[in-house]
Every structure is written in C-alpha cells, then in structure tokens.
Structure 1
Amino acid sequence: MKRLLILLLVLIFLATALFAQKPVQKTIKPLNEAELPRGTGTIAIVDVNLIDGNGGKAIPNASVLVKGDKIIAAGPSKSIQIPEGAKIIQGKGMSLLPGLIDSHFHIDGAEDLPSIFLQNGITSIRDPGLWIEVYDQVRKSGKYNPRLFLSGPHLDGSPPAYPNDAYVVRDEAEAVRQVNEVADQGSTVIKIYFRTPPGMIKAITDAAHKRGIPVTGHLEITEAKHAIEAGLDGIEHITSFGLSLTPKREAEKYRQGMLADNNYRKQGRYESWAAIDLNSPAADSLTRFLVRKGTFVSPTLAVFEYQSGPGTIDSIKLKGFDKMMKLTAKLQKEGVNIVVGSHSMVPYAEKGWAYQREMELFVESGISNAAVIHAATMENARFFRIDNYLGSIEKGKLADLILVKGNPLEDIKVMRNIEKVMINGVFVR
C-alpha cells in the first residue's frame, strides 16, 4: 500500500511538471474579426473542381453549400442536396479552393494593398512586424479587407535594421513587457528580428507562449537551430538558414559584416548562398532537425528572386538564388512545414500579385502544385493556429473561398485567374 501511494505521488508530480511546461495553446483570431462582412443567405457553388486544401486529390463535379458565414456541406454533387431558395453559382470549368493565407505580408505604405490582395484571392494576411496602429486607416477605409493577423513591431536589438517598424529591446525585462503589451492589443504573433540578442530569444518565446501566441523570426545572423531550441515556432525567409549551412569561419565573416552594416546582406547573402553545399551533412542535419521540431518555414523566395536578362548577368546572384530555391524544395520534400508568404512587393511581380509569384517559384523549385496549394491554405492555417476554422473546405468551417478559372493542379499560373472571392460567406469580387 505504501509503495502504491509513493508511485501515485510520483505520477502526480510528473503530470504536474509536464502540464506546467506545456505552452498555452489558443485559437488565434484576426484583429478585424468584428469588421468583416458576414453572409446571411444560402449559396450553392455547383459542378466545380473542388480542391479542399487538405492536400488530397481534387473532387471533380463537386458542390459546396454555404449558409450564413459557414460551409454546411462539401463533396460530389450527387451527394449534396441543394435547399430550395439557395443562390446557385455555376462552377463548370472552374476550381474552388479555400481562401489563400499569406504568412508574410508588408503593407509598405500602400493602404490599398490589403484590399487588392483580397480581390486577388488572399483572404487572410499576417503582417509580422509593424505597429498595429498603422492599420487603423485600412480598417476605417470602408473597403473589403482580408482577415488581419497583426504582430505589432518586430523585436530587434540596437541599432535596429528598420527603426520605424521595430521595438528595440535592451534586456529580458523590456522584451517580456513588450510581448505582453502587444498581446493585450490583440497581437497574433511575435516576430524576432536578427539583431535581437540570442540570449533574449528564450525569454521572448516563454512570455509569448504563456499568452498563447506563436513566435517567428528573421534570423540571418543567429544560428537557426539555437533559436528554435530556445522556442521559436517559425522561420521567416529561407536566408535565415545561412549560418546553419556555412562553415564557421565564413559564417562569422558574414555575421560581422552584417553587424557592421545592415546593407552588407544585399550582395553578401548571395555570395554566401552561392557557396553553400546542399548535399552536405549540415544540410541533411538541418532538415531532420526542422522536421523533428515541427518548425514552420516561410521562404519568401520572390523577394530574393534574380533573373538573368539583357546586359551583364550577376552569376553570383543567379547561383545564390538557385540554392535558395533548391533548399526550399529539399525541405518540403523531406517533410518540413513549408508555408507561403508573399512579402507584398517583390522584383518580378506587379502590385498585388506577389503571392501568386511565390507559388509559381515553389513549383519552379520542384514542389508539386498540390503541395504548394496545401502550403498556401491548410499549412498556413496551422502556422497561424486557425486550422480549426479556416484553411480547408470542410463542413463547419468559415466560408473563405475562391473560384479560379481552370485547374491549378495542372498549371499553377491558373491562380491568377480569380473569378470570385468569398470571405465569411460574402462574395467581395
């Protein structure tokens, strides 16, 4: 009896310790949830090619029923009974997908950009590093906007890389206080920038996780494995893995160059990446580590894209960018959680189309069309912690949907052929 009591006490102690260490998990909500339109009627989208976001095969000749702001049925048309009085949308020759989710959006001083992105099929955006107040005018504009998942300013060390978008943290107490202040404002994520002292990352992630908020980071001069071990949930930019893949001596040269001048990266990152060996044990080790940790990676390839053209060709940039693309494909194929982030304004896309260019670059890297769509929808929903109500076309989920002309599983460029966009059961295009 005594042994049984001791065993019971040990089990209680272990369970208590495990519970105490487990981060708080909560469903994240957009800051503008109350401002979004909300459907009231019943809509049937019929005879459509259904790509539900879960990564499986498309369902041809499918129908989806929306009542109010929710999906109430989805599947083969023969299995869906359309209620009397429903508004019918003919989807023949088109594909229906979940609304696209953008993990890395920057407003860049263009207050019309969120609305433009929504018109182009992106129904949720996350700005990982800007004062929440900057979006006040966007929210008051009267325009339809996507769901806004905002972070507040990114946390950076001194001198900050982007002073207007940063909150400079000088010690752990200051960092923790800032995390709690933006959490009180409704922050949906915390972003760490590359000058944040590595020793502060754990304090920041611990504070954020207590509030149920994920933490992501643009690292560049911090070793990614160390930051992830400290609690980082996501990585912004494929270039954040540079130090993990570069020999120590060369990595330190790059790091010191960045510490001396932020602009060093403009050419330095391409020089560094051109020399990386993606078949090395370091690359394989990094891949296994990211899979084991369940880390989300938003590569933002489009902002680094370099194309050869007339005139002098920068072979270093060409080679460096090719390595970035190849690593992205390697990580995805090995099981890393890759998601789609646009960076909003990129060199080879017109205003409003950066997200589609990012999807196209994923395919050009060697990732399948189906995997790209999954990364743009359900994987991003998991990264945002909104997968219980968005990210896929399933009964009970909110009706954020897009109709595109053609089949993006056959040609990813079809994602530019936006016919209709629905958010919360309301067509906004």
Structure 2
Amino acid sequence: MLKIVKILGKLIASLLLLLIITVLVIIGIDSYRTGYLKTDAIDQAAHNSYVITHVNVIPMHKDTVYQNTSVYIKNGIIAHIADTISAPNVPTINANGKYLCPGLIDMHVHVWDTYELGLYLANGVTAVRNVWGMPMHLRMKEALRTNELIGPEFFTSGPKITGPEFIGDDNLQIFSPEEATEKVIDFKAKGYDFIKAYYGLPKDTYDAVITQAAKETMDIIAHPSQKVPYSYHFNPQIRSIEHAEDIVQQPLAYTLDTVALARVVDTFAQSTHTAFCPTLTVYNNIYQILQNDTILQMPKLGYMNPLIKKVDSQASFDRWYQTKQKDTGVVVRIKAQHDFHLKIVKELHDAGVPIICGTDAGIGITLPGFSLHRELAFYKAAGLSNYEVLKTATINASQTHSIMNHMGSIEEGKTANMLLLESNPLTDITTLQNPAMVFSKGRRINRETLETFETKAYDRNNLWVSALRYAENLIIEK
C-alpha cells in the first residue's frame, strides 16, 4: 500500500511539473511573439531628443492653431514651443506643414493582451484607462512605466467591485462595508490606480468604498449601481460616471423621456467634479449585431482577442440574435435608444458637463483602438464641433484624474504623447485614423511600424495564454 502511495505521489508531482512547464512554455511563446513591442526592437534613434520644424500645432488647451511652428522634445518632454528653435546637435524632423495634436486617450477599455497595446498606438491612442483590473494589468503597467514595452500610457482600476448578489464571475463580490474598506486598502497597496464601482453595489458598502478611497487618494470610476439613486454618484470622489445607456435604464426607467432627461442633466451640471463617459460604440454594436447575422465573420473581428471573440463576442451575438427571433421590434427600439444617447451627450455637453471619450473596447465586438474613431464620430453626429470632439479624447480626458494631468495638450512641460497628421483634424476629424507618426512619451513611431503593429495583432493565436491570465485573476482576486 505504501508503495502505491509513493508511486501516486510521484505521478502527481510529475503531472504538476509537466503542467508548470506547459504554462511557462505557453507564456514564453506569447512573450516572444510580442517582442516587436519591446523598446529595444524599435529604432534606437527614436529615443533621442529632437526638434520638429515647420509644423502646425493644435495645442488643445485653447482653441487655436500655431502655424508653421517648431517644437523641441527633450527626453520625452515638450521643452519648448516657438517660431524657431536653436538646439545644436539635436536631430530635426521637418514636418513639411503637417499638423501636430495631442495623442488620443480612451477612458474606458478592457485590455486582454500585449498585442492590443500596438493596436492602440496604431490608431493614435497614446493613453488608456483600463477599467477591469487584474494581476496581469499590474505587470503590464510596470513594463510600460519602465519602458520595457512601448505602448500607450497605462492606467488601471482594480477589479470591479459589486455587492453580495452574484452577477458574474467577472465581478468581485463584496459582502460588507468592512470588506469593502479592506479591498480598497489592498488595491492601493498592489498598485492599482483607481477603484471601479460596479452595478449592484449597495449604499452601506458604497459609502465605505468612497470613504476609504478618499483616505487612499484613489479616484472612483462608477458604472452606476441600481442599489442607490443615480444622483448618489455625484460625489467628489467619483471622477467619472460611465455609460449613456445607464441614464436611460436608471433615472429614466427605460423610457426616452426628454423631460426626465432635462432633470438629470440639470443635476449632473451642478456637480463640478464629475465627468461623463458615454461609451456609445459598445451600445451601438448591439444594433450592428441585430442588423447583421454574419457579423462575427467580419474580417475586422480578427483584431479581437481570440478568447474574448470565442466567449464574449459569441455570447453577445447569441443573446441578441435570440432576442430578435422572439421580438422583431427590438431592432427599432435599440436604434431609437442609440439616437437618444446622442441627445444625452449633446445636452450634457451644452450644460457644461465634461464629456470624456470611452469605448468599452475589448468586449463584445468593440475593437481596441479602432473603436475610438467610431466613438468620436458619434460625438460629432450628436452635434459637437470637431474641436469639442477632439477635446473629449485629449484635454478633457487628461483633466479627469490628477495622475493624468501631464498629457492631453501640447504645452511646455507636458509629456510628448502626440500625433503627426497629414491634415487638420479641426476640419477633417477622420485624419486621426491614420497618423503619419505617433509619439509615445517622446519615442517616435512611423506609419510603417504602426502598420506592422496591426499586422502582428491580426488573428493572433494566444487563446490559451489569455485563459491562463484570466484564471490567475479568479484564483487571486476571488
């Protein structure tokens, strides 16, 4: 009997060792495949300080264009802006009349792998706010902070905090105010930047989250909870409220009531510390699914993380396809609500509420990087001018959190996160889709390299490593 136990023990140990080796091999292969995003793989000349000449600067902290200007970048920081700049022994980039604007910021994303960092840069996104934090995001944040990887500046919340009711394993259930306090302390210690408060959070627990977040100097990002009034979220610790559809679903009680909306807008406008992140794209994608039964076969879906495509994209499609079979009127209702979302954005904007661009990229069929341009197009359709649209993804976004104040405009002392564009986005917003050059913390990336980032991320084979990282989160944070 003892001999059998020893044999079984050795067998189990061997299987565990084999499992560990397999996991390490899978992770190692994925790291190798994303080596093109390591900074030592980028042209070393891109690291230097330089002067950009003959460029038209769109600063975004004010509504103007500096014509035929020079910009001196020194060690990744905007050091000087003037008509002409003398900087001996510093390389010069002749912009030949192109336009320079701040890099774009997506304030509501879900990042699943390193490949997506390249997709964001390829689309001119030089900073992201990840709002579903996991252990892998802390490692990613550190690799970007230390310049091991090149990518957008990376800010992340901790796991999504919800209440005691189970609403999916993607949420962290909190069962008491005391536990909420402990979690906020823990998230701060681990290195998360923000708290993500989610649907289902009851008032006593929410109060504890807000109190401790203030002590830890951690801003809160709020997916509105139905357990408290919508107006509860206008708290100074809550720096942004997400999702236009939640205005319809909560204070408007699933109606497209313009009178009730006016009351919400008036209350929102009285809160001088809270921005609004509409995420119109992810809701509009429901309409796209309802309109196209073969949408999951679209070539562009090759840019989605394969695990998300297999699980979440498919689940979204199945849900809405089945709904359409039972209720053909759903197509008209979803389109009507999307159009109402445009009205929400315009009225909040007109009332002085800061609109910040967020897409919910990384879930459903919402593509990392690419979706930001759809989001901006919706703001334009809502009635915002090109300048106002661009503000949502630059200066407005950067002013939401103090840790992001160093970006969002082209001013001396700001980080050189910038886009070099062929034409003026204030007259043609679509020029943002194909930057001639992207500057990420001063490191310049040309168009050819940006296109390589897209190619490398297309139809990537990293489903298993993504599953392992998600499993890690379930083990550690549950």
When normalised by structure 1's length, the TM-score is: 0.77
The structure-2 alpha-carbon separation of the partners of 1:347 and 1:372, relative to structure 1 and needing over 3 Å to count, comes to farther
Deviation at 1:117, TM superposition (A): 0.4
Match in the other structure for 1:202: 207
* Aligned counterparts, 1:242-321, within 5 A: 242-243=248-249, 245-246=251-252, 251=253, 272=254, 275-278=255-258, 280=259, 282-294=260-272, 295-305=274-284, 306=287, 314-321=331-338
The structure-2 alpha-carbon separation of the partners of 1:207 and 1:137, relative to structure 1 and needing over 3 Å to count, comes to closer
The structure-2 alpha-carbon separation of the partners of 1:283 and 1:297, relative to structure 1 and needing over 3 Å to count, comes to same
Aligned mates of 1:346, 1:48 — CA distance in 2: 37
Deviations, residues 363-389 of structure 1 (Å, cap 9, x unaligned): 111111101111111111111223542
Task: Indicate conservation of the 8 Å contact 2:282/2:366, yes or no.
Answer: no
- Runs of at least 5 residues in structure 1 that lack an aligned partner in the other structure: 1-34, 252-271
Q: What secondary structure, in the 3-state scheme, does the structure 2 residue paired with 1:180 have?
A: helix
Deviations, residues 173-220 of structure 1 (Å, cap 9, x unaligned): 101110111111122111111111133222111111111111111116
Amino acid at match of 1:296: A
Deviation at 1:73, TM superposition (A): 1.3
Aligned mates of 2:106, 2:401 — CA distance in 1: 10
Deviation at 1:158, TM superposition (A): 3.1
Deviation at 1:40, TM superposition (A): 5.8
The structure-2 alpha-carbon separation of the partners of 1:192 and 1:387, relative to structure 1 and needing over 3 Å to count, comes to closer
The structure-2 alpha-carbon separation of the partners of 1:84 and 1:209, relative to structure 1 and needing over 3 Å to count, comes to same
Amino acid at match of 2:266: R
Deviations, residues 225-275 of structure 1 (Å, cap 9, x unaligned): 0232484321011122235542xxxx3xxxxxxxxxxxxxxxxxxxx2xx3
Aligned mates of 1:36, 1:233 — CA distance in 2: 33
In the alignment, which of 344, 348, 352 is matched to residue 369 of structure 2?
A: 352
Match in the other structure for 1:257: none
Q: Which moved more, 1:335-344 or 1:54-63?
A: 54-63
Match in the other structure for 1:266: none
Match in the other structure for 1:191: 196
1:69 aligns with 2:73: no
Query: CA RMSD, aligned part only?
Result: 2.7
Match in the other structure for 1:121: 124
Aligned mates of 1:243, 1:310 — CA distance in 2: 25
Match in the other structure for 2:102: 98
When normalised by structure 2's length, the TM-score is: 0.70
Deviations, residues 100-135 of structure 1 (Å, cap 9, x unaligned): 12211101x343112220232111111112213345
Task: Indicate conservation of the 8 Å contact 2:105/2:126, yes or no.
Answer: yes
Match in the other structure for 1:174: 179
1:426 aligns with 2:404: no
Aligned mates of 1:231, 1:351 — CA distance in 2: 28
Aligned mates of 1:352, 1:231 — CA distance in 2: 28
Aligned mates of 2:359, 2:423 — CA distance in 1: 22
Amino acid at match of 1:66: I
Aligned mates of 2:429, 2:403 — CA distance in 1: 25
Task: Indicate conservation of the 8 Å contact 1:223/1:241, yes or no.
Answer: no
Amino acid at match of 1:189: F
Aligned mates of 1:396, 1:138 — CA distance in 2: 23
Deviations, residues 140-186 of structure 1 (Å, cap 9, x unaligned): 6964122111111010123343413x221111110111011111112
1:386 aligns with 2:403: yes
* Aligned counterparts, 1:14-93, within 5 A: 41-75=48-82, 77=83, 80-93=84-97
Aligned mates of 1:134, 1:67 — CA distance in 2: 29
The structure-2 alpha-carbon separation of the partners of 1:160 and 1:114, relative to structure 1 and needing over 3 Å to count, comes to farther
Aligned mates of 2:364, 2:55 — CA distance in 1: 34
1:131 aligns with 2:110: no
The structure-2 alpha-carbon separation of the partners of 1:351 and 1:127, relative to structure 1 and needing over 3 Å to count, comes to closer
Q: Which moved more, 1:235-244 or 1:116-125?
A: 235-244
Task: Indicate conservation of the 8 Å contact 1:55/1:374, yes or no.
Answer: no
Task: Indicate conservation of the 8 Å contact 2:151/2:440, yes or no.
Answer: no
Amino acid at match of 2:69: A
Aligned mates of 1:244, 1:342 — CA distance in 2: 20
Deviations, residues 312-331 of structure 1 (Å, cap 9, x unaligned): 78111110110011101111
Task: Indicate conservation of the 8 Å contact 2:233/2:241, yes or no.
Answer: no
Match in the other structure for 2:357: 340
- Runs of at least 5 residues in structure 2 that lack an aligned partner in the other structure: 1-37, 294-327, 447-478
Q: What secondary structure, in the 3-state scheme, does the structure 1 residue paired with 2:101 have?
A: strand
Aligned mates of 2:368, 2:249 — CA distance in 1: 32
Match in the other structure for 2:164: 158
Aligned mates of 2:56, 2:364 — CA distance in 1: 32
Aligned mates of 1:138, 1:111 — CA distance in 2: 11
Q: What secondary structure, in the 3-state scheme, does the structure 1 residue paired with 2:132 have?
A: coil
Q: What secondary structure, in the 3-state scheme, does the structure 2 residue paired with 1:163 have?
A: coil
Aligned mates of 2:168, 2:86 — CA distance in 1: 53
